[in-house]
Amino acid sequence: MRIQEHPILGTYEKGKLVSFTFDGKPLEGYAGEPIAMALKNAGVMVHRYTRKEHKPRGIFCAIGRCTDCVMVVNGQPNVRTCITPLEEGMEIRTQYGVTAEQPGGAAK
Amino acid sequence: MMKRYDMIVVGAGPAGLSAAIEAAKKGMHVVVYDENAKPGGQLFKQIHKFFGSKEHKAKIRGFHIGEELLAEAAELGVEVVLNAIVIGIFPEKEVTVKVEDHVIHVKGDTILIATGASENMVTFPGWTLPGVIGAGAAQTMMNLHGTLPGKRVLMLGSGNVGLVVSFQLMQAGCEVVAVADAASRVGGYGVHAAKVARCGVPFYLSHTIISADGEDCVTGVTIGEVDKNWQIIPGTEKHFDVDTICLAVGLSPMSKLCDMAGCAMEDNPAKAGFVPTVNEYGETSVPGIYAAGDVSGIEEASSAMIEGRIAGIAAAARLGFISEETCKEEAAKQEAALEGLRQGMFAPGMRGKQITETEEGVEISQNLLKHGFVAEEEIERFPGVTHSAGVHPVIECTQNIPCNPCQDACPKHCIRIGSNITALPSIDPEKKCTGCGMCVASCSGQAIFLVNEDCGDGTAEVTLPYEFLPLPQKGDKGVALNRKGEKVCAAEVVHVRSAKAFDHTNLLTMKVPKEYAMKARFFREEETA
């Protein structure tokens, strides 16, 4: 959810509204904001599932340190979405282990 | 040829920028590397007013201090390189830096390591679920990216970070269901706790998280009381429906680079972790390599800035940009300022100590430490709480912390702290309050109220600091909350003042029945009680 107006900070400077896809589904976010913020505002909580136990992971530190939020971005796995700026047309995929392939099946 | 600098600074946070500014002022050629896309470290997430005195930039909000530092650094020609990770420090102060997809190799005649700290975490069943976040993450989402971390949040940790972030969560529009802490007493400043408690947030001390619920993300949390061996006491479990669990359980110095550079290290609990040993100038065991800020011991950003300045001055003397005498003189001034910040109940040397009374000999509020607010039967004993006819300040500042802006803010000199910066403010009964409200807005702890205990018609007026949206308007009716955040009576807004000098702290004046003059401390716009 976006904060429309903040009592101390007022309104937030935003980039251009751009389209991107999450697991093939079209979504919108602001260019330049971290991918993770665009996803969070679209209601996406799970960024990846761990390889061995298939446990969900999402944003934890939000400053690029913990690597919990990594996803497959434009085909490249392990991209820290909390510090990678969103660009028009980006293809973001849930990461399973270290790939976009679900175990025992094709990519969503 | 390898590029050479008089000083290489690692980390563009408060310590690094302050050092760079000081060094550049002396004529040094300085570069600052930072791994982030934006400089300022965590300063740009700090939207509360800082504590201290004028020289520590007290009552200025953190992000404004960040803007000031960046402007000053730019003016002095300090080169700040972003998205640049220092990956190695080698003999003869050779430094390798990863910038984008390549590595550059530079040499510094001096190096300052100001890499800051990272957040600690605690584990419990469900702690890896999406929705469990660090307090820093909450600040990053809200204050940099305008994104709500969640709707309903449980905060674990009652240190200053936990308290400040709880308040910020409410400012952004989240509901904070509780602040829990395994410790038996609130760890942060009482004034930070009190401003959270009066909004109705319950405090659970001696409580920790048992588990987080949820399949793919957090849907709830269970906390329970711990005994003196930190074991959960059966039957004390409490459940909350939340979508977010925020962890504010301390910081640890990020000192790996110091270790790598060959600096002598120590495990020092007073500094909250593994830190380089440094002398009074912040110089490590490796001559010419300095450390400043959280990397050399967890403290406030205000202290980090001064430590940075001292290191910058010392580095300038080392390279002959200033004389030894100038260095001693300038460093002594900074050290006095630093000493000022390291006083009082929360000074680094006081960690873990039980304090029962203030420097003035007033018994400490135990309710504040247990529940986050000063109880009605305790408040009268503090020197800032007095009674007189007409409007007058009521200062609910009950712990010795290094902070004094209220003293300077009052144009009538009603408020006295004196030269001891940690003294509790008291009221000069000879001076007449005009009700201007400058003290209310200047108090970083939001602990000052203007009270007219008897308006003559059976009502009293209470003016309080208000930093939420929507801002109530004159004539609005609602309820007054007491220090615990309980509804105590009906209230009507009679005045709302906003001024540039108040810096977004609005002054809301509400009318309440006069018997609630010393009880009503917050206003909520809803059905009358």
What gap in Å lies between CA B74 and CA B63, rounded to an integer?
17
Kindly list the residues of chain A whose beta carbon comes within 8 Å of any beta carbon in chain B: 1-3, 5-9, 12, 14, 33-34, 37, 40-41, 45-47, 55-65, 68, 82-83, 85
What is residue B527's predicted lDDT score, i.e. its pLDDT? 55
| Nearest chain A residue (CA) to B49 | A8
Q: Considering only CB atoms, which chain A residues are within 8 Å of B82?
A: none
Locate the chain B residue with the closest alpha carbon to A58.
B130
Q: What is the pLDDT of residues B62-103, one digit of tens each?
A: 999 999 999 999 999 999 999 999 999 999 999 999 998 899
Whether residues B171 and A2 touch (CB distance < 8 A) is answered with no
Is domain B377-524 annotated with CATH 3.40.50.1370? no
What's the one-letter identity of residue B11?
G
DSSP A68: T
CB contact under 8 A, A64 and B36: yes
User: Do the Cβ atoms of A7 and B471 come within 8 Å?
Assistant: yes
At B101 the pLDDT is 87
- Closest residue on chain A to B42 (Cα): A63
- Give A15→chain B minimum CA distance, Å: 11
Looking at residue B131, what is its pLDDT?
98
pLDDT tens across B398-434, in order?
999 999 999 999 999 999 999 999 999 999 999 999 9
Domain boundaries, chain B: 3-118+252-341, 121-249, 377-524
Q: Which residues in chain B have their CB less than 8 angstroms from residue A40's CB? A: 141, 147
Task: Evaluate if residue B529 carries a pLDDT over 70.
Answer: no
CA-angle at B494, arms to B484 and B406, nearest 5°: 60
In 3-state terms, what secondary structure has residue B488? strand
pLDDT on residue B385 = 97
H or E stretch including B498?
Answer: none
The class (CATH top level) of B3-118+252-341 is: alpha beta
Asked if residues B288 and B298 have their Cβ atoms less than 8 Å apart, the reply is no
- Cα gap B4→B483, rounded to integer Å: 58
pLDDT digits (tens, 9 = 90+) for B111-153: 999 999 999 999 999 999 999 999 999 999 999 999 999 999 9
Residue B469 neighbours by CB under 8 Å, 6+ apart: A5, A6, A7, B173
Assess whether pLDDT exceeds 60 at residue B252: yes
Express as a percent the part of chain B with pLDDT over 70: 99
The alpha carbon of B431 is separated from its chain's Cα centroid by a whole number of angstroms, namely 32
Gap between the Cα atoms of B272 and B261, Å rounded: 21
pLDDT at B435 > cutoff 90: yes
Q: Which CATH architecture has domain A17-96?
A: Roll (3.10)
The C-alpha atoms of residue B142 and residue B61 are separated, in whole angstroms, by 16
What is the rounded CA–CA span in Å between residue A1 and residue A12?
A: 13
Decide if pLDDT at A105 tops 70. Answer: no
Q: How far apart are the C-alpha atoms of B403 and B424, rounded to whole Å?
A: 9
Please give the C-alpha separations between residue A72 and each of B42, B222, B343, B360, in angstroms, as whole numbers. 28, 33, 50, 60
Region B362-388 average pLDDT? 97
Give the other-Cβ count within 10 Å of B100's Cβ: 7
Contact flag A33-B145 (C-beta cutoff 8 Å):
yes
% chain B with pLDDT above 90: 95
Contacts of B356 (CB under 8 A, 6+ apart): B363, B364
* b (16+ CB within 10 A) / e for B200-223: bbbbbbbbbbbbbbbeebbebbbb
Q: Is the pLDDT of residue B526 over 90?
A: no
Of A3, A61, A85, the CB nearest to B172: A3
Which chain B residues are Cβ-neighbours of A34 within 8 angstroms? 145
Instruction: Give Cβ neighbours of residue A65 (< 8 Å, ≥ 6 apart).
Output: B118
Superfamily classification of domain B121-249: FAD/NAD(P)-binding domain (3.50.50.60)
Q: Is the pLDDT of residue A108 over 60?
A: no
How many CB atoms lie under 10 A from the CB of residue B353? 8
Cross-chain residue pair B131–A60, CB shorter than 8 Å? no
Interface test with B, best of A1, A47, A54 (most B CBs within 10 A): A1
The reply to whether B377-524 shares the fold of B3-118+252-341 is no
Tell me the C-alpha distance between B155 and B78, whole Å.
Answer: 39
Nearest to B148 among A1, A7, A56 (CB): A1
Residue B339's SS3 state is helix
pLDDT of residue B528: 43
CA-angle at B253, arms to B369 and B294, nearest 5°: 75
- Please list every residue in chain A whose beta carbon sits closer than 8 Å to the beta carbon of residue B119: 61
Closest CB from A6, A12, A63 relative to B140: A63
Question: For A23, how many CA atoms within 13 A lie in the half-sphere containing its CB?
Answer: 16
List the end-to-end C-alpha distance of chain B, in Å, as a whole number: 76
Rounded distance between C-alpha atoms, residue B116 and residue B252, angstroms: 9
Q: Do B118 and A64 touch (CB under 8 A)?
A: no
Averaged pLDDT score across all residues of chain B: 96
Q: What is the pLDDT of residue B381?
A: 97
ipTM: 0.96
Contacts of B134 in chain A (CB under 8 A): 60-62
The residues, any chain, with a CB within 8 Å of residue B61's CB and separated by 6 or more, are: A8, B46, B47, B48, B49, B50, B503, B504
Q: Which residue of B has its CA nearest to A36?
A: B141
**pLDDT tens-digit map of B162-176:** 999 999 999 999 999
Contact across the interface for B217 and A46, Cβ inside 8 Å: yes
Whole-number Å distance between alpha carbons of B491 and B54? 36
* DSSP SS3 for B437: coil
Encoded amino acid at A30, one letter: Y
What is the domain partition of chain A in residue ranges?
Answer: 17-96
* Subunit contact A64:B145, Cβ cutoff 8 A: no
Distance CA B365, CA A102 (A): 57
- Say whether A2 and B147 touch across the interface (CB within 8 A): yes
B172 CB neighbours in chain A (<8 A) are 3, 6
Question: At A6, phi and psi to the nearest 5?
Answer: -110, 140
- Give the distance from residue A107's alpha carbon to the nearest chain B alpha carbon, in angstroms: 19
Interface test with A, best of B145, B153, B165, B243 (most A CBs within 10 A): B145
pLDDT at B474 over 80: yes
Helix or strand holding residue B244 (H, E): strand B244-247
Instruction: Determine the 3-state secondary structure of B401 from DSSP.
Output: coil
pLDDT in tens, A39-86: 999 999 999 999 999 999 999 999 999 999 999 999 999 999 999 999
Spatial distance between the Cα atoms of B346 and B352, rounded to a whole number of angstroms:
10
Q: What is the C-alpha separation between B529 and B477, in angstroms, rounded?
A: 11
Burial class (CB in 10 A: 0-12, 13-18, 19+), B352: exposed
pLDDT (average), residues B360-387:
97
Partner-chain contact B467 A9, CB within 8 Å: no
* SS3 at position B213: strand
Half-sphere exposure of B25 (CA within 13 A, CB side): 18
Q: What is the pLDDT of residues B384-402, one digit of tens each?
A: 999 999 999 999 999 999 9
Which of B129, B143, B468 is closest, CB to CB, to A9?
Answer: B143
Q: Which residues does B contribute to its contact with A (CB < 8 Å)?
A: 35-37, 47, 61, 63, 118-119, 128-134, 136-137, 140-143, 145-148, 151, 171-173, 215-217, 467-469, 471, 504
